[in-house]
Amino acid sequence: MAETRRERPQAPEEFTRETVLEIEGVKSTGATTAEEIAMALNRSGYTNFRGHQWTPDQVMEFLSNDTVRRIQRELRGEIRGS
């Protein structure tokens, strides 16, 4: 089970990178909608930056963030470059 936000204080950029990886893991299990992703994150105890449960709207907002998109591109590059 993932640690909750309160158990792992970190800078926003670190949290964002970790959350992108967590969401990619959730997607690899077949979750495709924001609702499915939010449910999976909450079920595993993975909270948002403020330590609250995820909502589908928060997942959609998070995934549309420019920093998140940059991190996703970087990670795809790292995976391809391996």
Domains of the chain: which residue ranges?
Answer: 10-81
Distance, in Å, from the CA atom of 33 to the CA atom of 73, rounded to the nearest integer, reads 20
Look-up of token digits 């970087």: 74
Distance, in Å, from the CA atom of 73 to the CA atom of 48, rounded to the nearest integer, reads 22
pLDDT at 42 over 60: yes
Please list, in sequence order, all residues whose beta carbon lies within 8 angstroms of the beta carbon of residue 69, skipping any fewer than 6 positions away: none
Question: What is residue 76's predicted lDDT score, i.e. its pLDDT?
Answer: 87
pLDDT band of residue 10 (cuts 50, 70, 90) is confident
Question: What is residue 82's predicted lDDT score, i.e. its pLDDT?
Answer: 47
Query: pLDDT tens for residues 52-81?
Result: 999 999 999 999 999 999 999 998 886 555
pTM: 0.80
